């Protein structure tokens, strides 16, 4: 189990140090700083073993979170906890930064006391935590409220309290996907996958029972004959669910039913690798003219319905390390050579489907005495499209609340699809 | 860079550096650097020429980026361009960049060398210095090749500036260290020596570093520097603190130079020229005197500088090792430092004392500080100082204080740091062995050592203790008793079990008499440790068990049971299993005789250098003062051979252990008729092997020139009583040697120094004549030169024939030669073998000496192996006069009024042999009540002590 948890700033100064077990000494703090933070990026692995002590770390901007243990723990569990902890902190005070951590010093310790007990992770549901760990002064709670909190936290449905009432029952569903791609210069897909999340924001009264349906291939095939569904189905490689989802039911009937926590939660996470819709195609053309000049031409093609608009498009073309000057011409958007990043960055605000755009650049090089050839890093791309590249569709989300008198029809439901680029690279 | 003047300051650089310093994260820093690099690249692109200032600035930035840990692959050309600038700062930055960044195989090296060459010949001292510094900083082979010839010229040229000379000397030193083969000695070397006389102290200091390095390789070429150095040193030492102005450091004149001079002098033996030597001794005395003076300043720098010189001076004194007076003074000075509150001083004092202790002049002086050193070992906080204290204790140890030091080291070992434990253990083991007065103390010490620091006791240590116990029979019983007691501790270290198993297996019988350590108790004790031990130890224990079966047949059943158990006989370890199976079979099949032969007590180990010492030497160069091992008089192989011969010829049914030593061990018991069949060596020496026919014996004219007779039997084995007969003649020279119904042999002998003459009278007691009467003396050609005259082959009835035997003692010996007599009496062959009563004590020369004399010699012979002691019961009355007569008959001088106890007898004599003279002292302490004697013998040869002791013990 986790023996201790430390938070460092980018210099390796300790911001938060919470030790849960005696086998973790104070020197563990220094050991991590010296061996990992000060190693100047020599250490790439998120798990480091120093003197029989394991350090699991994640980095959020300039902040290092490290969980320490001397025991043989489940590393995936520790990382899941660390991510959860980041989520909790973000939910409480926004961006995780040195400033914010310093300002919420007491709060973090309070949270740590609650979500980790003797090194064992506890309820880390933000909604539940917010009921009894508040940022607004001391609000003395009545006996009833206190006992209610106790019964909720220790009860079966720890993530939702009873007696929630809304005038308008509303429900928001976001399907957020990030598409990852590595493509050869000839346009051959070397690897591609989509990782997606279904995020739900619910404002429902009482203890509603919900049921979520999507175009999962297994479900569609099962109903195939009777249902006669027209759309395509998708093959999900693996998925994980929020703790509120009844896994037994999913295993048996592959139906996703749950009582949602109040407010925002991540209902499920999934990954697909087949039949991915690649929103953009990048066609690079690099020509070396002598030792001191390089000509680059890049064409991008959008590959989705013309009615849809892609946003925040950014193409990043790496330049050699001995670049001494760059001239760029582009038809659309803005392009600029960023010396600090050793790349030409081409930004396009909006682009409709089935369109094409092009940039050409002339790069001047400084001759060096180094014979090393330029490694030609891949051209990478960022964008945002209003559909799910995996092809996932929400078929239904039904809400039942037997005790209160509102039905599925009374709930206002919103569904949104956002496809973003993950690591979307094309070799040149 | 805050404090730079406006004209020279590089604002861009300052801004860049402060930007970098303000970066919040590594990523931001990299971004900033990338931006800067792109900027510099675009500037260097060559569209328009850059002025010197910007070039300098950008090169500086590149240097800074490089020092931050990023790769720089351009800008070299610009840096080389800076070299040809006429501005100092630009040139300086250029050189800086090149010495940091340019690697030796760069193509630019030719350009750089060119620029350096220009600067070296520029006659501008600052430019020359820059160039020299660059050469020294790069120090590559290419640089050395290009400039090794040039720099000595600059160094010795008359018109070179002082500062350039300094740089040139240090630069040459660097090149010499990097590639000595390129720096050729030449005409300049003698002139370099004269730089010691230079007016400028800086030049002298730089030159002396160079000279010290060069002279350590070619001492002869620089011999002249000694006298120059001495005079320079004496000038500095005798100068007042203000004389040297700039070179006075906290009231100490030129400390660095002084140290270097002293160090240079340590490369050479003491100067032969009396005047120079006198001057040097004077200097050293002055330095020692100054150390006594009250400090001129309380500042630590002052005392540091003073002590630095002092310690170098002491090193020099130790190096010369010829001035007892100075050595003792140095030692006293260091003694003061031992209690100084500066830890560094204490460390240095202990370290220097360590070397002092090995000098004969100062060894005693060092010993006076033993208490302080022991105290340092106990109370010092710094582990390195404790280590040095332990080293010093080791170095100062000798016979007089060994017990104390070993005891202290042992007690310190319990709390010692883990890092030095192993070394401490080795040292204790060596000291204990080296200075062991009696071996029981040695055994105690080592067992203690194993008990306290078992983990650190290496194999060598316990091998050694076993070797010693095996080789010294006087300590075996004690060792067995001690290990038995040690093993009774509930938890004992595996090494202890190993020693215990081995010793009890060999000598368990020596303590088996005590019911508390009866065989079974011993076995159970050992076996109780068995399961806690590693495989090698278990294997050793199994061997010990089988030895037990041999030593104590009553344990056979128990041990066989243990061997038979599944955990042994089916052990997964092959070695253990094999041992168990083989030992079980051996014990059940072989007869006791065979068992006794196979499981013979181990023969003594040949003496050799202690392996522990070898290990310590290997472990650590300094501090381990080379130690001469006791040249313990080994039981020479010759003597063993000798013993083997004696037994082979004298008897009988079991092969002797000493013969086994020769590798002639035969597994089957040898029948009496064929003693040691095939023992070639023995045959050669004794002529008594079964293969040798009597003809062969008789043919040997040296022994007997009698014609071969019909009787061709072998010489008979000596009569059983021959040993007794021999004992009769230890203290007397005349008498009847042998008598039976037929023959009487009388003897009359006289001895002078190493020569003896013996008259043998053979009397025929019958009335019938003896035919083919023939006598032969057998054996001992190595030890005794025996010449016999032949006797008449016919002895008439009632007649007596005389035979003269001349004996020369060549070296000391143990067994008496054999006399074989053969004759026919009434047709029956008579074959008698006797021991000739020649014993080592016959060659005693009495020595009279006074009490004081006696005790002094007694003490000199204090090594354990030189002493032989026996306590035995009186077999005759304890009459004073008889005792005296016997002691006188022994051949020694009986010394009156020597022993404080008048009851005791003290004798002294010298055994004369051709090879050597062996002084021998004897002390006999009768105890009338108990009817016991204690006999102690000391002689300069261990075998002699032992033999005389054995002989005498039979007499009383």
Could you report the per-residue pLDDT of B589-612, keeping only the tens digit for each?
A: 877 788 888 887 778 877 666 666
Angle B439-453/B459-471 helices, nearest 10 degrees? 160
Same domain, A41 and A89: yes
Residues whose CB is less than 8 angstroms from the CB of residue B629 and which lie 6 or more positions away in sequence, other chains included: B434, B609, B610, B613
Lowest mean pLDDT among A46-60, A323-337, B594-608: B594-608
Q: What is the pLDDT of residue B709?
A: 36
What local confidence, expressed as pLDDT, does residue B716 receive? Answer: 61
- Cβ–Cβ of A342/B32 closer than 8 Å? no
Indicate the SS3 state at residue A288. Answer: strand
My answer on whether A88 and A186 are in the same domain is no
Percent of chain B exceeding pLDDT 90 equals 8
Q: What is the mean pLDDT of residues B911-936?
A: 82
Cβ distance of A322 and B107 shorter than 8 Å:
no
What pLDDT is recorded for position A176?
Answer: 95
**Per-residue pLDDT at B71:** 84
Q: Which residue has the higher pLDDT, A58 or B625?
A: A58
Residue B878 predicted with pLDDT over 80:
no
Six-digit token pair at A29?
A: 């703090």
* Chain A residue at shortest CA distance from B30: A340
Q: What is the pLDDT of residue B615?
A: 66
Strand B905-912 and strand B917-927: the pairing is: antiparallel
Q: Is A370 found in the same domain as A223?
A: no
The predicted pLDDT at position B706 comes to 36
Closest CA to B350 of B325, B386, B296, B321: B386
**Confidence at B680, pLDDT banded by 50, 70, 90:** very low
Domain total in chain A: 3
pLDDT value at B664 more than 50: no
Q: Do the beta carbons of residue B236 and residue B287 sit within 8 Å?
A: no
Ranking A104-118, A147-161, A305-319, B228-242 by mean pLDDT, the lowest is A147-161
List the single residue in B45, B106, B107 with the smallest CB-CB distance to A364: B45
Kindly state whether residues B827 and B895 are assigned to the same domain. no
**Cβ partners under 8 Å of residue B573, min gap 6:** B535, B538
Q: CA angle B118-B120-B123, nearest 5°? A: 100
* B458 and B567 both lie in a single domain: yes
In this complex, is the C-beta atom of A30 within 8 Å of any C-beta atom belonging to chain B? no
Looking at residue B765, the DSSP 8-state letter turns out to be: -
Any CB–CB contact under 8 A between B299 and chain A?
A: no
pLDDT tens digits for B97-144?
Answer: 988 887 766 678 888 888 899 998 888 889 999 999 999 988 888 888
Query: Which of B24, B32, B69 is the closest to A10 by Cβ?
Result: B24
The predicted pLDDT at position A76 comes to 93
Of the three residues A124, A158, A180, the one that is the final residue of a domain is A124
Clarify whether residues A305 and A334 are in a common domain: yes
On whether both A23 and A77 belong to a single domain, the answer is yes
pLDDT tens sequence across B624-641: 333 333 333 333 333 333
Q: If you count DSSP H runs as helices and E runs as strands, how many of each does chain A have, helices first? A: 8, 23
Indicate whether B93 belongs to any domain. Answer: no
Q: How many CA atoms lie within 13 A of B744 on its CB side?
A: 11
The answer to whether position B681 is within a domain reads no
- Beta bridge pairs of residue B735: B747
Which pLDDT score is estimated for B49?
77
Q: Are residues A284 and A269 in the same domain?
A: no
pLDDT, average across residues B942-954: 80
d(CA B631, CA B708): 48
Last residue of a domain, which of B564, B580, B598? B598
Instruction: Say if residue B11 is exposed, middle or buried (CB neighbours under 10 Å; 0-12, 13-18, 19+).
Output: exposed
C-alpha A36/C-alpha A55 separation (Å) is: 9
For chain B, the domain total comes to 4
HSE at residue A200, side-chain half, CA atoms within 13 A, is 24
Co-location of A356 and A310 in the same domain: yes
Query: Residue A386's pLDDT band (boundaries 50, 70, 90)?
Result: very high
> What is the model's pTM?
0.57
Which of B598, B616, B631 is a domain's end point? B598
Q: How much is the average pLDDT of B579-590? A: 85
Q: Which of A78-92, A102-116, B576-590 has the lowest mean pLDDT?
A: B576-590
- CB–CB of B32 and A369 under 8 A? no
**Is B34 part of a structural domain of the chain?**
yes
Query: What pLDDT, on a 0 to 100 scale, did the predictor assign at position B676?
Result: 35
Taking residues B753-781, report their average pLDDT: 80
Q: Are residues B439 and B581 in the same domain?
A: yes
Residues B801 and B732 in one domain: yes
pLDDT over 90 (residue A418):
yes
- Do B903 and B812 reside in the same domain of the chain? no
| pLDDT score, position B652 | 36
Give me the pLDDT at residue B627, please.
Answer: 35
The answer to whether A41 contacts B26, with C-beta atoms less than 8 Å apart, is: yes
Asked whether residue B406 is domain-assigned, the answer is: yes
**Structure tokens that stand for B228 in this block:** 């120059």
Q: Does residue B763 belong to any structural domain of this protein? A: yes
Above 90 in pLDDT, residue B456?
A: no
Distance from CA of A66 to the nearest CA of B (A): 18
pLDDT for position B717: 64
Q: Are B743 and B725 in contact (CB under 8 A)?
A: no
- Supply the pLDDT for residue B650: 35
Q: What is the CATH number of the domain that holds B935?
A: 3.30.310.10
Task: Decide if B936 contacts B923 (C-beta within 8 A).
Answer: yes
Average pLDDT of the segment spanning B369-380? 83
In a domain, B716, yes or no: no
Residue A130 lies in a domain: no
Closest CA to A207 of A401, A399, A413, A397: A401
pLDDT in tens, B810-842: 887 777 788 888 888 777 778 888 888 888 888
3-state secondary structure B877-939: CCCHHHHHHHHHHCCCEEECCCCCCCCCEEEEEEEECCCCEEEEEEEEEEECCCCEEEEEEEE
Q: What distance in Å separates the CA atoms of residue B629 and residue A1, rounded to the nearest whole number?
A: 60
Residue A360 sits in which domain range? Answer: 280-385
Other C-beta atoms closer than 10 Å to the C-beta of A92 total: 19
User: Per-residue confidence at A136, pLDDT binned at 50, 70, 90?
Assistant: low
Nearest Cα of chain A lies from the Cα of B101 at a distance, in angstroms, of 13
A334 is in an annotated binding site: yes
Dist CA B784 CA B810 (whole Å): 5
Tens of pLDDT, residue by residue over B277-325, are 899 999 999 998 888 888 888 888 988 998 999 999 989 988 888 888 8
Q: Is residue A225 part of a domain?
A: yes
Residue B148 within a domain: no
Judged against a pLDDT cut of 80, whether residue A183 lies above it is answered with yes
For residue A132, being part of any structural domain is answered with: no
Q: Which of A41, A62, A339 sits opposite B34 (nearest CB)?
A: A339
Same domain assignment for residues B755 and B879? no
Structure tokens at B327: 């050595």
B891 is in an annotated binding site: no
For residue B45, the chain A residues in CB contact (below 8 A) are 324-325, 364, 366
Rounded distance, CA B369 to CA B361, Å? 15
Most confident among A168-177, A214-223, A399-408 (mean pLDDT):
A168-177
Chain A residue numbers with beta carbons less than 8 Å from the beta carbon of B70 are none
State yes or no: A84 annotated in a binding site.
no
Range of the domain at B887: 841-954
Per mean pLDDT, which range of A20-34, A120-134, B185-199, B662-676 is the poorest?
B662-676
Residue A143 in any domain: the answer is: no
- Do residues B485 and B583 both lie within one domain? yes
Give the span between the Cα atoms of B757 and B788, in whole angstroms. 10
| A21-45 pLDDT per residue, tens | 988 888 888 898 888 888 866 777 8
Q: How confident is the model at residue B713 (pLDDT cuts 50, 70, 90)?
A: very low
Cβ-based neighbour number of residue B289 at 10 Å: 11
Residues on chain A touching B106 (C-beta within 8 angstroms) = 369
Q: Which of the residues B19, B23, B36, B41 would you substitute to probe the A interface, choosing the one with the greatest number of A C-beta atoms within 10 Å?
A: B41
For residues B899-913, give the mean pLDDT. 81
If asked whether residues B479 and B434 sit together in one domain, one would say yes
Contact A366 B45 (CB under 8 A): yes
| A395 class by beta-carbon count within 10 Å (0-12 exposed, 13-18 middle, 19+ buried) | middle
**Least trusted range by pLDDT, from A320-324, B162-166, B238-242, B533-537:** B238-242
Query: Does one domain contain both A296 and A233?
Result: no
Q: Is A322 on the interface with B (CB under 8 A)?
A: yes
Q: Where are the alpha helices (DSSP H) in B45-161?
A: 52-67, 76-83, 88-101, 109-120, 125-138, 141-147, 150-156
Q: Across A76-145, where does the E strand assignment appear?
A: 116-117, 120-121
Residues A86 and A19 in one domain: yes
pLDDT score recorded for residue B608:
62
> Among the listed ranges A290-299, A390-399, B398-407, B637-646, which one has the minimum average pLDDT value?
B637-646
CATH number at residue A191: 2.60.40.1170
A11 CB neighbour count, 10 Å cutoff: 12
Residue B556 in tokens? 């056979």
Mean pLDDT, chain B, whole residue set:
78
Question: From the CB of residue B63, how many other CB atoms can be counted at a distance below 10 Å?
Answer: 19
Same domain, A246 and A331: no
Same domain, B534 and B419: yes
Q: What is the pLDDT of residue A299?
A: 93
What is the average per-residue pLDDT within A121-143? 75
Same domain, B767 and B824: yes
Give yes or no for a contact between B260 and B316, defined as CB atoms under 8 angstroms apart.
no
Residues B833, B874, single domain; the answer is no
Q: Going by DSSP bridges, is the β-strand pair B248-249/B252-253 parallel, antiparallel, or unpaired? A: antiparallel
Residue A165 lies in a domain: no
Judged by CB atoms closer than 8 Å, whether chains meet at B42 and A10 is answered as: no
Q: Which of B16, B38, B45, B72 has the most A C-beta neighbours within 10 Å, making it the best mutation to test the interface with A?
A: B38
Interface of B with A in 42-61 (CB under 8 A): 42, 44-45
Q: How confident is the model over B322-366, as pLDDT tens digits?
A: 888 888 888 888 888 888 888 888 888 888 888 888 877 778 888
Tokens for B146?
A: 């290009």
CATH of residue B787's domain is: 2.60.40.1230
Q: Does B804 touch chain A (CB under 8 A)?
A: no
Residues A37 and A174 both lie in one domain: no
Which positions 173-212 of A are in contact with B (Cβ < 8 Å)?
Answer: none
Mutation pick from A38, A324, A345 vs chain B, by most beta carbons of B within 10 Å, is: A324
Residue A59 sits at φ, ψ, to 5 deg, of: -120, 130
Interface predicted TM-score (ipTM) of this complex, two decimals: 0.73
Answer for the pair B357, B396: CB distance below 8 angstroms, yes or no: yes
What's the token pair of residue B845?
A: 């020369």
In a domain? residue B361: no
Q: Which of these three, B598, B630, B658, is where a domain ends?
A: B598
| Statement to judge: residues A266 and A182 lie in one domain | yes
Question: Do B517 and B386 belong to one domain?
Answer: yes
């Amino acid at each position: 189990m986790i023996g201790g948890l430390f938070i460092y700033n980018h210099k390796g100064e300790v911001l938060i140090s919470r030790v849960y077990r005696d086998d973790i000494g104070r020197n563990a703090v220094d050991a991590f700083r010296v061996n990992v933070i000060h190693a100047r990026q020599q250490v790439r692995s998120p798990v480091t073993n120093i003197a029989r002590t394991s350090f699991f770390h994640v980095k959020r901007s300039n902040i290092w979170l490290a969980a320490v243990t001397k025991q043989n723990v489940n590393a995936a569990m520790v990382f899941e906890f660390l991510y959860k902890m980041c989520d909790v902190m973000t939910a409480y005070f926004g961006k995780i930064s040195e400033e914010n951590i310093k300002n919420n010093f007491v709060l973090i310790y309070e949270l740590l006391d609650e979500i980790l007990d003797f090194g064992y992770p506890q309820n880390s549901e933000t909604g539940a935590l917010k009921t009894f760990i508040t940022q607004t002064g001391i609000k003395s709670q009545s006996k009833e409220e206190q006992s209610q909190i106790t019964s909720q936290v220790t009860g079966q449905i720890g993530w939702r309290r009873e007696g929630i009432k809304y005038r308008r029952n509303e429900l928001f569903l976001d399907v957020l996907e990030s598409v990852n791609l590595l493509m050869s210069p000839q346009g051959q897909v070397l690897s591609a996958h989509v990782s997606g999340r279904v995020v739900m924001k619910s404002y429902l009264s009482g203890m509603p029972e919900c049921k979520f349906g999507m175009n999962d291939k297994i479900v569609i095939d099962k109903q195939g004959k009777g249902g006669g569904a027209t759309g395509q189905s998708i093959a999900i490689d693996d998925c994980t669910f929020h703790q509120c989802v009844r896994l037994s039911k999913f295993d048996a009937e592959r139906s996703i039913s749950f009582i949602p926590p109040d407010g925002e939660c991540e209902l499920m996470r999934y990954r697909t690798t087949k039949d991915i819709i690649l929103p953009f195609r990048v066609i690079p053309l690099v020509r070396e003219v002598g030792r001191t000049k390089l000509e680059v031409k890049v064409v991008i093609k959008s590959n989705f319905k013309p009615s849809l608009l892609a946003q925040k498009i950014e193409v990043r073309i790496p330049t050699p390390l001995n670049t001494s000057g760059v001239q760029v011409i582009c038809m659309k958007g803005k392009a600029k050579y960023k010396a600090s990043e050793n790349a030409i960055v081409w930004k396009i605000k909006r682009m409709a489907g089935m369109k094409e755009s092009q940039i050409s650049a002339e790069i001047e090089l400084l001759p060096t005495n180094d014979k090393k050839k330029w490694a030609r890093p891949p051209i990478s791309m960022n964008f945002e499209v209003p559909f799910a590249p995996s092809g996932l569709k929400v078929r239904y989300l039904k809400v039942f609340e037997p005790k209160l008198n509102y039905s599925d029809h009374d709930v206002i439901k919103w569904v949104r699809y956002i496809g973003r680029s993950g690591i979307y690279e094309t070799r040149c | 860079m805050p404090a730079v003047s406006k004209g020279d300051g590089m604002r861009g650089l300052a801004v860049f550096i402060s930007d970098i310093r303000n970066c919040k994260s590594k990523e931001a820093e990299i971004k900033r650097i990338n931006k800067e690099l792109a900027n510099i690249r675009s500037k260097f692109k060559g569209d328009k020429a850059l002025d010197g200032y910007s070039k300098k600035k950008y090169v500086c930035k590149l240097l800074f980026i490089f020092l931050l840990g990023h790769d720089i692959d351009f800008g070299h050309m610009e840096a080389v361009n800076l070299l040809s600038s006429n501005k100092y700062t630009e040139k300086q930055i250029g050189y800086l960049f090149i010495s940091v960044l340019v690697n030796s195989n760069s193509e630019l090296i030719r350009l750089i060398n060119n620029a350096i060459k220009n600067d070296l010949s520029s006659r501008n001292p600052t430019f020359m210095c820059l160039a020299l510094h660059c050469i020294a900083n790069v120090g590559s082979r290419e640089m050395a090749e290009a400039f090794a010839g040039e720099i000595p010229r600059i160094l010795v040229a008359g018109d070179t500036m002082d500062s350039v000379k300094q740089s040139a000397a240090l630069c040459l030193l660097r090149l010499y260290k990097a590639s000595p083969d390129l720096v050729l000695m030449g005409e300049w070397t003698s002139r370099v020596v004269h730089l010691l006389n230079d007016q400028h102290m800086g030049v002298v200091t730089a030159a002396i570093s160079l000279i010290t390095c060069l002279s350590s390789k070619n001492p002869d070429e620089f011999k002249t520097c000694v006298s120059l150095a001495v005079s320079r040193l004496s000038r500095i030492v005798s100068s007042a603190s203000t004389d040297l102005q700039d070179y006075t450091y906290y009231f100490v004149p030129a400390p660095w130079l002084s140290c270097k001079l002293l160090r240079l002098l340590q490369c050479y033996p003491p100067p032969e020229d009396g005047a120079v030597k006198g001057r040097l001794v004077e200097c050293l005395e002055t330095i020692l005197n100054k150390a006594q003076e009250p400090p001129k300043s309380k500042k630590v720098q002052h005392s540091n500088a003073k002590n630095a010189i002092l310690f170098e001076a002491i090193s020099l004194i130790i190096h010369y090792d010829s001035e007892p007076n100075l050595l003792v003074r140095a030692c006293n000075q260091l003694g003061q430092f031992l209690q100084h509150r500066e830890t560094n001083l204490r460390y240095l004092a202990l370290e220097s004392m360590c070397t002092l202790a090995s000098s004969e002049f100062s060894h005693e002086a060092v010993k006076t500080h033993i208490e302080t050193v022991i105290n340092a070992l106990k109370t010092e906080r710094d582990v390195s100082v404790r280590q040095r204290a332990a080293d010093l204790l080791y170095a100062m140890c000798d016979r007089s204080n060994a017990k104390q030091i070993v005891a202290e080291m042992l007690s310190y070992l319990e709390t010692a740091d883990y890092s030095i434990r192993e070394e401490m253990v080795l040292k204790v083991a060596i000291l204990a062995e080296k200075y062991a007065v009696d071996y029981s103390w040695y055994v105690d010490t080592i067992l203690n050592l194993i008990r306290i620091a078992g983990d650190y006791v290496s194999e060598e240590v316990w091998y050694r203790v076993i070797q010693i116990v095996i080789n010294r029979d006087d300590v075996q019983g004690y060792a067995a008793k001690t290990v038995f007691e040690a093993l009774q501790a509930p938890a004992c270290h595996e090494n202890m079990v190993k020693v215990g198993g081995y010793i009890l297996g060999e000598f368990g019988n020596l303590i088996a008499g005590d019911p508390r350590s009866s065989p079974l108790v011993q076995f159970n004790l050992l076996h109780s440790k068995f399961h806690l031990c590693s495989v090698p130890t278990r294997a050793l224990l199994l061997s010990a068990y089988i030895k037990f079966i041999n030593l104590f047949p009553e344990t056979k059943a128990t041990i066989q049971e243990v061997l038979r158990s599944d955990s042994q006989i089916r052990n997964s370890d092959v070695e253990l299993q094999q041992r168990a199976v083989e030992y079980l079979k051996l014990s059940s099949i072989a007869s006791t005789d065979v068992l006794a032969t196979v499981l013979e007590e181990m023969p003594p180990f040949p003496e050799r250098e202690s392996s522990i010492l070898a290990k310590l030497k290997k472990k650590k160069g300094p501090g381990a003062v080379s130690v001469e091992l006791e040249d313990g008089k080994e039981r020479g192989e010759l003597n063993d051979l000798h013993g083997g011969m004696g037994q082979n010829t004298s008897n009988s049914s079991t092969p002797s252990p000493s013969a086994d030593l020769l590798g002639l061990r035969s597994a089957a018991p040898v029948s009496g008729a064929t003693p040691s069949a095939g023992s070639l060596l023995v045959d050669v020496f004794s002529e008594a092997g079964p293969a040798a026919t009597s003809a062969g014996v008789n043919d040997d004219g040296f022994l007997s020139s009698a014609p071969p007779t019909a009787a061709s039997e072998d010489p008979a084995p000596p009569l059983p009583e021959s040993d007794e007969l021999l004992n009769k003649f230890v203290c007397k020279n005349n008498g009847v040697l042998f008598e039976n119904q037929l023959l009487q042999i009388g003897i009359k002998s006289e001895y002078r120094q190493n020569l003896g003459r013996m008259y043998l009278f053979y009397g025929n007691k019958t009335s019938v004549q003896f035919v083919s009467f023939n006598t032969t003396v057998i054996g001992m050609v190595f030890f005794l030169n025996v010449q016999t005259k032949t006797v008449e082959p016919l002895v008439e009835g009632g007649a007596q024939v005389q035979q003269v035997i001349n004996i020369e003692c060549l070296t000391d010996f143990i067994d008496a030669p054999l006399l074989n007599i053969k004759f026919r009496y009434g047709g029956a062959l008579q074959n008698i073998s006797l021991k000739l009563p020649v014993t080592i004590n016959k060659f005693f020369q009495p020595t009279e000496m006074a009490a004081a004399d006696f005790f002094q010699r007694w003490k000199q012979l204090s090594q354990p192996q030189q002493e032989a002691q026996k306590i035995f019961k009186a077999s005759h009355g304890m009459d004073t006069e008889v005792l005296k007569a016997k002691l006188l008959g022994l051949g020694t001088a009986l010394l009156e009024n020597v022993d404080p106890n008048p009851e005791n007898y003290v004798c002294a004599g010298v055994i004369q042999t051709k090879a050597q003279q062996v002084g021998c002292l004897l002390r006999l302490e009768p105890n009338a009540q108990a009817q016991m004697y204690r006999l102690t013998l000391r002689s300069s040869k261990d075998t002699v002590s032992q033999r005389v002791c054995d002989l005498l013990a039979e007499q009383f």
